[in-house]
């Protein structure tokens, strides 16, 4: 970045805001030259494309290194050594992006050529980094050049002045690429897969969905997921709210809060082991707390995690509620502190008791936070995987959608079923997110 | 005249007394017996499980088999052997100690990547105007809808088999199986899954930086690159810090993503612990020591940086 700093002064003579200043049009000749050049390149590439047949013995063309070779080289280093190396590499890439963003929108011949070069070189480089190409090199060049040309042209013609779009794309490209690759494409692929059989070769229509609702594992995963999403948010929020109200303005509030909040920092794997100690069942003297209590009162020890129907699922829910209550408590506590004290005092003067004040002043005052907490925990409980995987492994009808789909895919290699389960889960989450997004849009409009 | 002031004084005193009284009442009400007892019960229930684990992890192995951890108050006996034994025991590929290192190797880059990428995008959403900005932003927020489980298989096949468009291989896939500790795929997966929430949270913060600050920088000749690096990043440090903690905890505690993407020698602590807890079966002293090793880092991070963490939670949730 020192680079940027040293070069700034000479440029400051140029109007700094490209989209407000009258933009310096490159002369008509330059424009023609560029368009003609691009056309020639494209034509040459096209001719090459149809004339040269694919040749398998073609010499691989590569930069000498690729992402793959980089990761392989790093893979043989000590994990602790990998951390600084990858962060430095990543930092360099980001620095390059920032320098481009800084220089691109400036007016002037040099910056014009800089944009042009960047538009063409970056896509080619990016594709070359992915692999050493053999006969596909020509394809790669075409794709890269077309993308680059489109970007450059759109940018050049952009209403806010050349460079504006270029900037925007550079800012967004990393996130957009990752999201498209890692979330949007997989979602589409999974929905597609859910209509095909185990190995994604034969179209089976809705058969996978019938399987979800008729097979015992599929059926129980749906039922249990519904139980989770109904019970977990309600109880976490209720307990969290009660606790937040009880300790509001109490002495040592901070410490009392962190006690309940602490489980949030613990992994579900850790939580699973912690709670195994509570639910343990064995012959002789009980080591698990719950059975110790039961036997102390003269009862018979119970194998809690095998107890059906639904008892074991509810016990897993307890673990989840244990981890989520802190979240609800912290947010609701902050919301309670945001309720205007005047309202409380006014209600007090009216002679209301604590419960009435809570019902009629506090709860309406924190309504939006309550909704956020409820929906957030609901989404979390829909996606739950770890607790079930660690504590029961889906035994004794404790499976849920999020667990069963990984189970189907890892243990049975049954991709169709797994995809159908994922889509059902997706449909469950859908209304919650639509609701949240709507809420958010409303708030943004108010702003 | 005198009576007037007298009355005035008296009434003043009365008011003061009444205020004091009501304040006392208010305090009494807030810390009323029922509420206090309920709060204590909740706090105790929420702490006991962790405390039990903590105590068990220091008890000699034979004791943990035969008696509950609470008996330690009657006949105390402690040892540190469990920890050394747990760290050096392991599955086929690696010990718990090695996977602790792996966890660090996974978590730190997987925290940095999404933060930087998301702050770039958040800046663009906040300070660059473009068509359909709001719709795109809501769309990114809504991507949280995608359950990670749904993205796992396609992403995995993308990493291992690559991408082929129309018979032409664009990307052949990574060949990392023979590498000793390769985290690349885990980093990328974690970075992707963190992006929607990260962009949303950082945008909330970055968009509230006063417009005048940005304008002033622009008048001084700074482009978006400089504004981002020299003004927005420093100003957004609290938000970045809080999300960093969030992401650190989330990645450190993650089991699912690592199970799917990490090669067998690069597994993190959670995964090793999970598979070991099966083979350890009834060796509770090992399980508890192992579990405590795995939760000590997040607990330290959490307690030392709690302030930022809470702030991040609030920014992410209440502004939504």
pLDDT over threshold 70, residue B265: yes
B149 contacts on A by Cβ (under 8 Å): 383, 385, 402, 405-406, 422, 425
**Given B120, B138, B155, which is nearest A440 (Cβ)?**
B138
Q: The tokens of A234 are what?
A: 């309600």
Residue of A nearest to B226 (CA): A102
Q: Does A96 touch chain B (CB under 8 A)?
A: no
Residue of B nearest to A355 (CA): B29
Contact B158, B151 (CB under 8 A): no
Mean pLDDT value of segment B18-32: 58
B299 to chain A, closest Cα gap in Å: 6
**% of chain B at pLDDT higher than 90:** 4
Q: Which of A413-427, B71-85, B155-169 has the highest mean pLDDT?
A: A413-427
Does the N-terminal peptide bond of residue A309 adopt cis geometry, omega within 30 degrees of 0?
A: yes
A40 to chain B, closest Cα gap in Å: 24
Contact state of A182 with B189 under an 8 Å Cβ cutoff: yes
- Across-strand partners of A235? none
Residue of B nearest to A413 (CA): B153
The lowest-confidence range among A181-195, A248-262, B1-15, B230-244 is: B1-15
B52 contacts on A by Cβ (under 8 Å): 274, 277-278, 289
Contact state of A175 with B120 under an 8 Å Cβ cutoff: yes
Q: How many CB atoms lie within 10 A of CB A251?
A: 10
B256 contacts on A by Cβ (under 8 Å): 385-386, 406
Contact state of A406 with B149 under an 8 Å Cβ cutoff: yes
B49 contacts on A by Cβ (under 8 Å): 274-275, 277-278, 322
Give the CB-side neighbour count of residue A432, counting CA atoms within 13 A.
Answer: 26
pLDDT, position A234: 92
Q: Which pLDDT band holds residue A61 (cuts at 50, 70, 90)?
A: low
**Given B113, B149, B180, which is nearest A405 (Cβ)?**
B149
Q: How many CB pairs under 8 A join A and B?
A: 394
Q: Closest by alpha carbon to B125, among B181, B74, B218, B196?
A: B196
pLDDT, position B177: 66
The three-class DSSP label of residue A160 is coil
Mean pLDDT value of segment A205-228: 83
Contact state of B43 with A256 under an 8 Å Cβ cutoff: yes
Quick: pLDDT tens for B154-177. 888 888 777 665 555 666 667 766
Contact A236, A447 (CB under 8 A): no
Residue of A nearest to B310 (CA): A330
Contact state of B182 with A71 under an 8 Å Cβ cutoff: yes
Contact state of A178 with B229 under an 8 Å Cβ cutoff: no
Contact state of A174 with B117 under an 8 Å Cβ cutoff: yes
pLDDT over threshold 80, residue B310: no
Q: What is the 3-state secondary structure (H, E, C) of chain B?
A: CHHHHHHHHHHHHHHHHHHHHHHHHHHHHHCCHHHHHHHHHHHHHHHHHHHHHHHHCCCCHHHHHHCCHHHHHCCCCCCCHHHHHHHHCECCCCEHHHHHHHHHHHHHHHHHHHHHHHHHHHHHHHHCCCCCHHHHHHHHHHHHHCCHHHHHHHHHHHHHHCEEECCEEEECCCCCCCCCCCCHHHHHHHHHHHHHHHHHHHHHHHCCCCHHHHHHHHHCCCCHHHHHHHHHHHHCHHHHHHHHHHHHHHHHHCCHHHHHHCCHHHCCHHHHHHHHHHHHCCCHHHHHHHHHHHHHHHHHHHHHCHHHHHHHHHHHHCCC
Q: Does A101 touch chain B (CB under 8 A)?
A: yes
Contact state of B109 with A76 under an 8 Å Cβ cutoff: no
Residue of A nearest to B99 (CA): A79
Q: Does A318 touch chain B (CB under 8 A)?
A: no
pLDDT over threshold 50, residue B76: yes
Residues 49-68 of A with CB under 8 A from B: 67-68
B90 to chain A, closest Cα gap in Å: 16
DSSP A283-318: SSS--SHHHHHHHHTT-----GGG-TTTHHHHHHHH
Mention every residue, 6+ apart, whose C-beta is less than 8 A from residue A227: A310, A313, A314, A317
Contact A395, A306 (CB under 8 A): yes
B238 to chain A, closest Cα gap in Å: 18
pLDDT over threshold 70, residue B231: yes
**Given B52, B183, B229, which is nearest A277 (Cβ)?**
B52
Contact state of A131 with B116 under an 8 Å Cβ cutoff: no
Q: Does A237 touch chain B (CB under 8 A)?
A: no
**Given B102, B146, B298, which is nearest A266 (Cβ)?**
B298
pLDDT over threshold 80, residue A72: no
pLDDT over threshold 50, residue A8: no
* Substitution target from B19, B24, B29, B39 for chain A, most A beta carbons within 10 A: B39
A71-76, long-range: CB within 8 Å, 24+ apart, which pairs?
A71/B174, A71/B176, A71/B179, A71/B182, A71/B184, A72/B175, A72/B176, A72/B178, A72/B179, A72/B182, A74/B179, A74/B182, A74/B184, A75/B176, A75/B179, A75/B180, A75/B181, A75/B182, A75/B183, A75/B184, A76/B179, A76/B180, A76/B181
Query: What global pTM score does this model have?
Result: 0.79
Q: Which pLDDT band holds residue A330 (cuts at 50, 70, 90)?
A: confident
B2 to chain A, closest Cα gap in Å: 32
Domains and CATH numbers, chain B: 13-85 (no CATH), 88-317 (1.10.3720.10)
pLDDT over threshold 60, residue A15: no
Q: Residue A228: enclosing H or E segment and its boundaries?
A: helix A216-246
pLDDT, position A249: 73
Quick: pLDDT tens for A74-111. 777 777 888 888 889 889 988 888 888 888 777 777 77
Cα–Cα dist A231/B270, whole Å: 27
Contact state of A94 with B118 under an 8 Å Cβ cutoff: no
**Given A77, A246, A376, which is nearest B317 (Cβ)?**
A376
Mean pLDDT value of segment A300-318: 78
Q: Does A441 touch chain B (CB under 8 A)?
A: yes
* Substitution target from A287, A384, A418 for chain B, most B beta carbons within 10 A: A287
Cα–Cα dist A436/A430, whole Å: 10
Residues 162-221 of A with CB under 8 A from B: 167-168, 171-172, 174-176, 178-179, 181-187, 189-190, 193
Domains and CATH numbers, chain A: 2-192 (no CATH), 207-446 (1.10.3720.10)
Q: Does A371 touch chain B (CB under 8 A)?
A: no
* Substitution target from B27, B33, B42 for chain A, most A beta carbons within 10 A: B42
A246 contacts on B by Cβ (under 8 Å): 35-36, 38-39, 42
A143 to chain B, closest Cα gap in Å: 10
A260 contacts on B by Cβ (under 8 Å): 42-43, 46
Cα–Cα dist B45/A242, whole Å: 14
pLDDT over threshold 80, residue A1: no
**Given B48, B192, B229, which is nearest A183 (Cβ)?**
B192
Mean pLDDT value of segment B206-213: 84
pLDDT over threshold 70, residue B88: yes
pLDDT over threshold 60, residue A297: yes
pLDDT over threshold 50, residue B21: yes
pLDDT, position A14: 40
* Substitution target from B146, B200, B310 for chain A, most A beta carbons within 10 A: B146
Residue that is written with structure tokens 């220089």 in the block: A103
CA angle, residues B85, B88, B93, in degrees to nearest 5: 140
């Amino acid at each position: 970045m020192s680079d940027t700093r040293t070069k700034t002064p000479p440029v400051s003579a140029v109007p700094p805001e490209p989209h407000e200043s009258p933009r310096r049009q490159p002369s008509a000749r330059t424009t023609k030259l560029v368009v003609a050049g691009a056309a020639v390149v494209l034509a040459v590439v096209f001719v090459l494309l149809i004339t040269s047949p694919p040749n398998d013995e073609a010499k691989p063309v590569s930069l000498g290194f690729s992402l793959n070779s980089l990761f392989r080289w790093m893979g043989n280093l000590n994990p602790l050594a990998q951390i600084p190396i990858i962060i430095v590499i990543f930092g360099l890439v980001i620095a390059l992006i920032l320098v481009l963003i800084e220089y691109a929108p400036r007016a002037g011949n040099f910056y014009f050529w800089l944009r042009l070069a960047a538009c063409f070189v970056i896509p080619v480089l990016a594709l070359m980094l992915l692999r050493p190409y053999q006969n596909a090199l020509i394809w790669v060049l075409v794709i890269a050049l077309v993308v680059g040309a489109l970007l450059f042209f759109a940018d050049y013609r952009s209403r806010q002045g050349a460079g504006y779009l270029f900037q925007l794309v550079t800012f967004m490209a990393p996130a957009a690429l990752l999201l498209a690759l890692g979330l949007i494409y997989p979602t589409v692929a999974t929905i597609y897969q859910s209509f095909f059989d185990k190995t994604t070769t034969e179209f089976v229509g809705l058969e996978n969905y019938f399987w979800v609702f008729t097979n015992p594992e599929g059926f129980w995963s749906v039922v249990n997921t519904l139980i989770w999403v109904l019970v977990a948010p309600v109880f976490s929020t209720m307990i969290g709210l009660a606790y937040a109200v009880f300790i509001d303005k109490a002495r040592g509030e901070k410490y009392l809060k962190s006690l309940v909040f602490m489980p949030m920092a613990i992994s579900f794997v850790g939580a699973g082991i912690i709670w195994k100690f509570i639910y343990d069942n064995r012959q002789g003297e009980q080591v698990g707390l719950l059975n110790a209590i039961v036997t102390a009162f003269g009862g018979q020890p119970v194998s809690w995690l095998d107890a059906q129907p639904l008892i074991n699922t509810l016990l897993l829910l307890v673990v989840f509620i244990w981890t989520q209550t802190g979240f609800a408590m912290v947010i609701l506590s902050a919301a309670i502190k945001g309720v205007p004290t005047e309202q409380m005092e006014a209600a007090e003067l009216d002679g209301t008791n604590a419960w009435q004040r809570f019902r009629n002043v506090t709860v309406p005052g924190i309504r939006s936070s309550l909704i956020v907490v409820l929906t957030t925990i609901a989404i979390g409980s829909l996606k739950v995987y770890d607790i079930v995987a660690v504590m029961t492994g889906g035994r004794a009808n404790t499976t849920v959608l999020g667990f069963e789909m990984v189970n189907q895919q890892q243990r049975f290699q049954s991709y169709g079923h797994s995809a159908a389960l994922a889509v059902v889960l997706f449909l469950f989450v859908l209304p919650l997110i639509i609701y949240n997004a709507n809420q958010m849009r409303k708030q943004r409009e108010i702003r | 005249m005198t009576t007037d002031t007298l009355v005035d004084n008296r009434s003043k005193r009365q008011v003061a007394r009444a205020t004091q009284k009501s304040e006392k009442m208010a305090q009494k009400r807030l810390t009323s017996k029922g509420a206090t007892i309920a709060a204590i019960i909740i706090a105790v229930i929420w702490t006991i499980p962790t405390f039990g684990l903590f105590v068990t992890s220091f008890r000699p192995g034979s004791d943990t088999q035969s008696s509950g951890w609470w008996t330690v108050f009657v006949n105390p006996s402690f040892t540190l052997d469990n920890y050394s034994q747990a760290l050096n025991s392991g599955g086929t590929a690696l010990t718990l100690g090695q996977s602790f290192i792996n966890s660090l190797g996974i978590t730190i880059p997987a925290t940095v990547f999404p933060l930087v990428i998301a702050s770039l995008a958040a800046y663009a959403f906040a300070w660059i105007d473009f068509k359909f900005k709001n719709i795109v932003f809501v769309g990114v927020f809504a991507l949280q809808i995608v359950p990670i489980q749904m993205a796992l298989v396609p992403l995995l096949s993308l990493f291992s088999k690559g991408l082929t468009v129309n018979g032409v291989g664009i990307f052949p896939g990574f060949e990392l199986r023979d590498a000793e500790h390769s985290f690349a795929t885990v980093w990328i997966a974690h970075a992707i899954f963190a992006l929607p929430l990260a962009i949303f949270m950082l945008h909330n913060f970055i968009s509230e930086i006063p417009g005048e600050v940005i304008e002033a920088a622009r008048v001084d000749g700074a482009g978006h690159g400089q504004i981002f690096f020299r003004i927005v990043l420093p100003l957004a440090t609290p938000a970045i810090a809080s999300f960093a903690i969030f992401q650190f905890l989330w990645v450190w505690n993650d089991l699912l993503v690592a199970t799917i993407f990490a090669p067998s020698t690069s597994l993190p602590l959670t995964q090793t612990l999970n598979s070991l807890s099966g083979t350890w079966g009834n060796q509770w002293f090992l399980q508890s020591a192992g579990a405590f090793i795995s939760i000590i880092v997040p607990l330290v991070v959490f307690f030392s940086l709690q302030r930022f963490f809470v702030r991040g939670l609030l920014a992410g949730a209440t502004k939504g």
